[in-house]
Structure 1
Amino acid sequence: MSTLNPSSSPAPVPAGPHAGKRLSPLRVALGVVVVLGVVAAGLFGFRVFVVDQARADGLAPWFASYVDATVTPSFPFETPPTDAQRDVVLSFVVAASGPLSGSPGEQDGSSSADAPTGAAADPASGSCTPSWGTAYSLDGAAQSLDLDRRIARLRQQGGDVMVSFGGANNSELATACTDPEALKDAYEAVVDRYDLSTIDLDIEGGNLTDAAAGQRRAEAVAALQTERRAAGHDLAVWLTLPIGPSGLLEDGTDAVAQMLDAGVDLAGVNAMTMDYGVDLDGASLGRSSIDSLNGLHRQLGALYSAAGIELTDATLWSKIGATPMIGQNDVPAEVFSLADAQTLSTFAQDKQLGRLSMWSLNRDATCGPNYVDTRVVSNACSGVDQGDASFAGVLAQGFGGSPDAAADTVTTPEPTTPVVDDPATSPYPIWSESTSYLAGAKVVLHGNVYAAKWWTRGDTPDDPVLNDFETPWTLVGPVLPGEKPFALPSLPEGTFPTWTGAAIYEKGDRVLFEGTPYEAKWWTQGDSPAASSADTDGSPWVPLTESEMAELTAPQQSRPGG
């Protein structure tokens, strides 16, 4: 996510941000089971997944806005005026690029408390040392920003914080730190200092395209998550990624696959539904966000399936988050309005997404009269006229859960029984591997209706694919209760000539055969239209499409004066 200023990070203060956090019996139990699972996996060479008790108990999805922790003026996240501002994602912890300062322009010298164990390879470079936007050490942020104290105050009022690693600027820890153990310790230093149950990995730009860094990141986070769960401490991991109108790009799907292959139990993937920078074909950012999330849902299904974890559609939706950039985006033509926020909110509630966020709480206000050009992105206002409304208030609707409670969730494979399709209750023919289908043809498979995008044969409609262009099928929707086989409207006798074996037909000629209209694909004589269903490719006949039939049977509009 874009930020015009760097970000900062805090350090351990006695009884500071840890106040109010407790170890639940469920977390202790999960830790014991995870330990047993890890041991079993090591002994027998297979993955063990724990029952998802929290999800089974109807865990509520949650909302938390990003807050740029070091931007000026400082945002008072510690005194939320509404429940919509109760939980926040503090941004961004990155690798320190040099000796850290306690405040801009003032050297405080990084204390040994800031540097994780084993990170002494190059203390001057700070490559394995976490910082807030390279501007503050953890101790420096505690001193200059009172960050630890403000976190503690928020928790006293029932709120909580997550920390986001990465962002659009600077080097994410895994990109800069090549020592695997030091990298894990760097993440752990931040998690322990702020007593975090949820972390956010905002990976974009060069941090995302660096495959070696991605592998280090996945392995370090997996090790840290396993250690913490074994000790009874939850650690939910959200991977925040840029997205296009049809889903994640290849670097994004690779990042998810790396995490799953390393054994990270992802809480979910949070899509940055912003700054598309491509032609949206007239669609609003709200509509484009929905398209992006539908694509991500399909991709997650394929990625988890490839990792040997089968999840239901509902669980996959619960593993998806969305983060729009409110108001004016960095792409001048893209503006996320309050109406877009309501569109996304309605969709998110309907699908029960696991989380919603926004960039950023700092910007959730109408710009003042002195801010002349609202097309230039501001860190302190949205660039749109919000009136009395807030983006947080709109997006938080129906998302009253807690990130801390959600951290109890553990992913487990879900046995799924494929729907057995019944021709008597299916509106279209049941898909067959041996049948050829032309563009526009509709079929039923496992309780869903699919439409062919182009000629296809043998391509299973519900095969998991990462990209929409890899499948010739579009999911239209489920078979509805009470449906019966679709019957083409009958045409009156004489609409077209009745087919006869002796007649010669040219390409484009239409005939009636047993009440069904067909059109010739090429010159033919003696070839019965009845063969078209068994041999779509070889038959010279194709039945008219639904739309063509509808045109023929639609009542004619009377013309003025006619």
Structure 2
Amino acid sequence: MDRATPVAVRPDYDPLADPLADPDWQEPEQPRARLSWTRLGLLVLILGLLGAGGTLGVIHLRNTAGPTAKSWAVPYVDVTLTPTFQFQDPTANPANDVALGFVVADPKNACSPSWGGAYTLDGAGNLLELDRRIAQLRQAGGDITLSLGGLNNSELAVACTDEERLTAAYRDLVKRYDVKTLDLDIEGTAVADQASLQRRVTAVAAVQKERAAAGKPLAVWLTLPVAPSGLTEDGVGVVRGMLEGGVALRGVNVMTMDFNSGEARPDMLALSTSALNGTHKQLSDLYLPLGQKLTSPQVWSRIGATPMIGQNDVDAERFTLDDAAGLARFAVDNGLGRVSMWSINRDAPCRGTFANVVVHSNTCSGVDQDALAFSKVFAGLPGKAAGSDNYDSVEIPNRAATVDDPKTSPYPIWRMTAMYAGGYKVVWKGVVYEAKWANSGQDPAAAPPAGTQSAWSVIGPVSPVEKAPRPVPVVTGVTDPWTAGPIYRRGDRVLFGGLPYEARWTTKDEAPSMEFPVDADDPWKPLFTIPGEPRTN
């Protein structure tokens, strides 16, 4: 199979600076172009075609307006999926911006937001380093879109029936992550749940107005299922409800996937573009009753597309790299406001041989591809691209001026002689790193030799308010303090520095180590865990 090449377009578009993200923004009147002799000749040709009764001149004249928006590439990241995708690392993520999904209701508290029902917001910050990784992405010139909902679990507006608490939950989310763009992914039974739809409209409109008043406008996208003919009837109702309820929609992002066309080998690009054209007509009609007659390019700028890369949930459907290149061209030609994909976690080949076998996976595409091939196709869109705003380099504090303080470092400070297991986190020169694989003696901040990869991923900078990690004992009942002089035999347990240890073999006058991780050849085994150690279960 031929590999698709990235679309060559200018990487100078900042979606966060897009005027359409401002609820009060209105499309300016296009300046009138001067009529050159070349254009005069073209006009004569068009008039001639019109006089001949043909339609070519009409089509050409209609299309000369061109797109008014530049497509923004923003792939989805499945935040809670294992292994954790390092979206803040430019070597792992070619995109400048990402959509983080999914925030849903906490199973134990319907009005409290959680990540995938598995992590509280604080839990994701601690266990997934989410806040730190977002900060690192922004420090490198990128940003996030916060995506709420999805097919699984319960979206906040569905689970939380208290309108005031729902509004507070949205407000807290936007404030905590300093969100500029909110993505409301409404699918499954939620699309027709009228009570939750009304609660969501009221809450989002209130938060959006608060942010606008504070000088921090909040762009809102709707992500909805779509058929080859366009939005479903329920989907049209969701959009209408948002617009009539006072939400300033930045756009409608349609999920161009799982069409169930019944064809043996469906043309996914043709189905996708048909769905987008149908949505274009529907949005034009939806804005008219509100007194807004949008031009065709203005409508396109309010539409996004999200294919499921590779193997779709429907066995016969496969969205290939050629389809991705075609969608990227369509986006550029029409000025599509956004192109996403589900998901960058899947942008890799499946291991082993899967010839003529349907492979459904959350961590690989199920089609023949190179790693990150889909991401690289869409990263060529005119939104922020990899390499812009210094995104291709990681900002590291001045090594000579940075001295790590154990009292203010959230993880153990890196040591040259220590053996680090894959997933172990350390602090080095003011930055948190995570080991990609087991290694020793490999400086996290040093550039790797040519042709090799670093053994460490950059997680993000150490915050000035952080504190030393607190070890957590895994046993109780250890009370005897370690002292010099006695002979300790294998299995003996002592306290040292307030922490429990167990002798690996007979030892005397060898104090337990307080340098973490404790080496395997140290006579004392720690009976506690340290933040930063990889979880074993």
Class of the TM-score when normalised by the shorter of the 2 chains: 0.5 to 0.7
TM-score (norm 1): 0.56
Task: Tell me, yes or no, if structure 1 residue 270 matches structure 2 residue 245.
Answer: no
For 1:71 and 1:346, the matched residues in 2 are separated by: 31
CA spacing shift, 1:283–1:375, aligned 2, 3 Å: closer
For 1:379 and 1:371, the matched residues in 2 are separated by: 16
Displacement after TM superposition at 1:372 (Å): 8.5
Q: Is the partner of 2:227 in helix, strand or coil?
A: coil
- For 2:26, the aligned partner's letter is V
For 2:372 and 2:346, the matched residues in 1 are separated by: 13
For 1:58 and 1:343, the matched residues in 2 are separated by: 20
| Partner residue, 2:163 | 180
| Partner residue, 2:424 | none
Of 206, 218, 225 in structure 2, the residue corresponding to residue 235 of structure 1 is 218
Tell which has more relative contact order, 1 or 2 (C-alpha 8 A, sep 6+).
Answer: 2
Q: Is the partner of 1:346 in helix, strand or coil?
A: helix
Q: Is the 8 A contact 1:63 1:395 kept in 2?
A: yes
Of 70, 75, 88 in structure 2, the residue corresponding to residue 78 of structure 1 is 88
| Partner residue, 2:534 | none
| Deviation sequence 1:367-397 (CA, Å, 0-9, x none) | 1117788523111110011146611111233
Of 262, 269, 272 in structure 2, the residue corresponding to residue 279 of structure 1 is 262
CA spacing shift, 1:183–1:55, aligned 2, 3 Å: farther
Q: Is the partner of 1:85 in helix, strand or coil?
A: coil
| Partner residue, 1:201 | 184
Q: Is the partner of 2:315 in helix, strand or coil?
A: coil
Displacement after TM superposition at 1:308 (Å): 2.3
| Partner residue, 2:134 | 151
When structure 1 is superposed on structure 2, of 282-291 and 358-367 the one drifting more is: 282-291
Task: Tell me, yes or no, if structure 1 residue 357 matches structure 2 residue 367.
Answer: no
Q: Is the 8 A contact 1:367 1:374 kept in 2?
A: no
Q: Is the partner of 2:380 in helix, strand or coil?
A: coil
Displacement after TM superposition at 1:287 (Å): 0.9
| Deviation sequence 1:380-427 (CA, Å, 0-9, x none) | 11001114661111123333249xxxxxxxxxxxxxxxxxxxxxxxxx
Q: Name the count of aligned residue pairs.
A: 335
Alignment of structure 1 residues 474-553 onto 2, 5 Å = none
For 1:280 and 1:274, the matched residues in 2 are separated by: 14
For 2:361 and 2:93, the matched residues in 1 are separated by: 25
CA spacing shift, 1:337–1:59, aligned 2, 3 Å: closer
Q: Is the partner of 1:270 in helix, strand or coil?
A: strand
For 1:198 and 1:153, the matched residues in 2 are separated by: 18
- For 1:320, the aligned partner's letter is I
- For 1:67, the aligned partner's letter is V
For 1:374 and 1:335, the matched residues in 2 are separated by: 12
Q: Is the partner of 2:360 in helix, strand or coil?
A: coil
Q: Is the partner of 1:127 in helix, strand or coil?
A: strand
Task: Tell me, yes or no, if structure 1 residue 331 matches structure 2 residue 314.
Answer: yes
Q: Is the 8 A contact 1:64 1:84 kept in 2?
A: no
Q: Is the 8 A contact 2:78 2:100 kept in 1?
A: yes
Q: Is the partner of 2:272 in helix, strand or coil?
A: helix
Q: Is the partner of 2:183 in helix, strand or coil?
A: strand
| Partner residue, 1:87 | 97
| Partner residue, 1:216 | 199
Q: Is the 8 A contact 2:266 2:316 kept in 1?
A: no
- For 2:295, the aligned partner's letter is T
| Partner residue, 2:383 | 400
| Partner residue, 2:368 | 385
For 1:313 and 1:83, the matched residues in 2 are separated by: 33
| Partner residue, 1:96 | 106
Same amino acid, percent of matched pairs: 52
Task: Tell me, yes or no, if structure 1 residue 367 matches structure 2 residue 350.
Answer: yes
Displacement after TM superposition at 1:59 (Å): 5.5
For 2:225 and 2:370, the matched residues in 1 are separated by: 30
Q: Is the 8 A contact 2:221 2:251 kept in 1?
A: yes
In structure 2, runs of 5+ residues without a counterpart are 1-15, 32-66, 386-537
Aligned residues: CA RMSD: 2.7
Q: Is the 8 A contact 2:348 2:371 kept in 1?
A: no
| Deviation sequence 1:319-360 (CA, Å, 0-9, x none) | 000000000001111100011111111111100100100000
| Partner residue, 1:547 | none
Q: Is the 8 A contact 2:222 2:252 kept in 1?
A: yes
For 1:233 and 1:329, the matched residues in 2 are separated by: 37
| Partner residue, 2:299 | 316
TM-score (norm 2): 0.59
Q: Is the partner of 2:235 in helix, strand or coil?
A: helix
For 2:165 and 2:30, the matched residues in 1 are separated by: 34
For 1:365 and 1:388, the matched residues in 2 are separated by: 4
For 2:161 and 2:137, the matched residues in 1 are separated by: 35
Q: Is the partner of 1:243 in helix, strand or coil?
A: strand
Q: Is the 8 A contact 1:207 1:213 kept in 2?
A: yes
For 1:306 and 1:80, the matched residues in 2 are separated by: 45
Q: Is the 8 A contact 2:251 2:304 kept in 1?
A: yes
Q: Is the 8 A contact 2:148 2:184 kept in 1?
A: yes
In structure 1, runs of 5+ residues without a counterpart are 1-22, 35-48, 99-125, 403-562
Of 281, 287, 294 in structure 1, the residue corresponding to residue 277 of structure 2 is 294
